[in-house]
Amino acid sequence: MNTNPIPTKSSTLEQRLSLLGQNLSIAYRDPLKIVRGEMQYLYDDEGRQYLDAYNNVAHVGHCHPRVVKAGQDQMARLNTNTRYLSDLINEYAGRLIATFPPTLNKCFLVNSGSEANELALRLARTHTRARDLIVLDHAYHGNTTTMIDISPYKHDGPGGSGPPSWVHKVPLPDLYRGPYPADDVDAVYKYSQHVIEVIERLESRSLCGFIAESMPSVGGQIVLPAGYLNTVYSAVRDSGGVCIADEVQTGYGRIGTHFWGFESYEVVPDIVVLGKPIGNGHPIGAVVTTTEIAGSFANGMEFFSTFGGNNVSCAIGLTVLDTVLEEGLQTHARSVGSVLLERLRKLMSQHKIIGDVRGSGFFLGVELVRDRESREPATLEATAIVNKMRDEAVLLGTDGPFHNVLKIRPPMPFNEADADRLVETLDVALRTL
Ligand code: PMP
């Protein structure tokens, strides 16, 4: 038994700063030392409870007992790789595939969203024998070298050195802050035209694809305008490319109306990338694609991931999926999310600083502006609000190119009482500005 005294919060911080890389960020002005989690609540080292309104990884709830038990039981039984036959991986893959439209019927398992996006890009390139990729401005797809290359949020940000020549950035179709706002009747046409112009500029058959989050999150909790993906997908496919949907943040019923974000636009991607929620905190990433694309990828080079698809990950992944379905969490996100959205919109009528409230289910954004006319981002104010909320034991984050959008993406058990607590605390915090 470890008999060393538990380090105080300040010594934990001090040790961390001396031991870990400095660019690991720490949330909040007064950092939190979280020691325990239970469903939508987190507890600090002094036993204080916080309402978690933005950690979407703990999808079915922090330390959901059923998920914990599945992991513990499987750890005690076997944990090895995909080179042995296993009914568990078959069951998980089958159950996962069953949540997709019928053309998406082949699954690969990896260990993170970044790895899944890397694999998606390899699949797209092998299938199309092409290299160039179209990405949305402000997008984030992961932390590996190639994912930084395709993530304007990183390569155009501090420390970044821009995109390589094979990455083509198009404007984020943001009807609030983008170049073509909601009152421009041709906005959707204009946004999709940027993709078509890139395709026209490229040499024939050099485009491997287009990647977008179904609802861009670091872009500012953006809901894509209706019709955009339909036009873009058909232009990309006409030029020989494939369409990749990054569902790392939006999948598993989070948006309430649909199980997958892309379904809300009535499109079917060629490759779908999954991460964060599917392991409820255990590192699992997945790629789901068509028979044809998986077939092209099986070109003789073996695909193997040491940990991807291991027995413990499959047991956990399967239990998370069962829990989402059996606890009716998508319907729950839809009903509580719409109540929350309505209350946030009501708050907008009392606080001029709220420029926009948007989203679906438990994927919501509150954009703060200094002036509703000019839409000047209220970045410092957003940081102050998030810190004030933290002091009042409600955890939120900021997002968007100007970090002025409050992101609300709670664990799915978040209930109406939690929604009341969030809105009431936010109301008070906004009054103190
Ligand atoms: N895609 C999206 C949309 C993400 O938000 C993230 C992580 N924030 C990733 C990919 C990368 O996932 P991971 O951190 O698990 O590698």
pLDDT in tens, 396-423: 999 999 999 999 999 999 999 999 999 9
pLDDT at 385 over 70: yes
Can you read off the two tokens belonging to residue 380?
């410092």
Q: Does domain 9-60+328-431 have CATH number 3.90.1150.10?
A: yes
d(CA 310, CA 208): 30
Confidence grade of residue 140 (pLDDT, cut at 50, 70, 90) = very high
- Find residue 273's DSSP bridge partners: 246, 287
Give the pLDDT of residue 4: 80
Reply yes or no on whether the pLDDT at 394 is more than 70.
yes
CA of residue 87 relative to chain centroid, distance: 29
Domain made up of 66-326: CATH architecture: 3-Layer(aba) Sandwich (3.40)
Question: What would the mean pLDDT of 85-110 be, rounded to a whole number?
Answer: 98
Pocket test for ligand 1, best of 276, 287, 363 (most atoms within 8 A of CB): 276
What does the pLDDT read at residue 2?
Answer: 65
Best residue among 110, 114, 150, 214 to mutate for probing ligand 1, ranked by most atoms within 8 Å of CB: 114
Contact 178, 217 (CB under 8 A): no
Return the pLDDT at 31: 97
Residue 132: other Cβ atoms inside 10 A:
22
- Grade residue 5 by pLDDT with cuts at 50, 70 and 90: confident
Within 6 A (CB) of ligand 1 lie 112-114, 117, 140-143, 213, 217, 246, 248-249, 275
Mean pLDDT of 267-271: 99
Looking at the whole model, is its pTM more than 0.85?
yes
- What's the average model confidence in pLDDT over 105-118? 98
- 11's CB contacts (< 8 A; 6+ apart) are none
In the chain, which residues fall in CATH 3.90.1150.10? 9-60+328-431
- List every span in the chain annotated with CATH 3.40.640.10: 66-326
Ligand 1, atom 7, residue with closest C-alpha: 142
| Cβ atoms 244, 46 nearer than 8 A | no
Residue 107 has pLDDT above 90, yes or no: yes
Contact 219, 246 (CB under 8 A): no
CA of 197 to the centre of ligand 1 (A): 28
Q: From CA 104, how far away is CA 290, in angstroms rounded?
A: 5
DSSP 100: S
Which atom of ligand 1 is least distant from the CA of 218?
5
Nearest to 103 by CA among 237, 231, 249, 213: 237
3 state SS of 201: helix
Q: What are phi and psi of 67, to 5 degrees?
A: -70, -45
Q: Collect all residues with Cβ–Cβ distance below 8 Å to 277 and sequence separation of at least 6.
A: 56, 57, 59, 251, 252, 254, 320
Centre of ligand 1 to C-alpha 191, Å, is 24
Q: Which atom of ligand 1 is nearest to the CA of 275?
A: 15
The pLDDT of residue 1:
60
CA-to-CA dists, residue 65 to 38, 40, 251, 290, 323, angstroms: 9, 13, 22, 34, 11
Atom 12 (ligand 1): residue with closest C-alpha? 113
SS3 184: coil
Strand partners, 169: 135
Q: Point out which residues pair with 405 in neighbouring strands.
A: 367, 399
Quote the percentage of the chain above a pLDDT of 70: 100
Q: Residue range 21-39: average pLDDT?
A: 97
| 366 beta partners | 357, 406
Contacts of 57 (CB under 8 A, 6+ apart): 276, 277, 280, 281
* Residues 242 and 271 sit within 8 Å (Cβ to Cβ): yes
Cα 368 to ligand 1 centre (Å): 24
29-55 average pLDDT score: 98
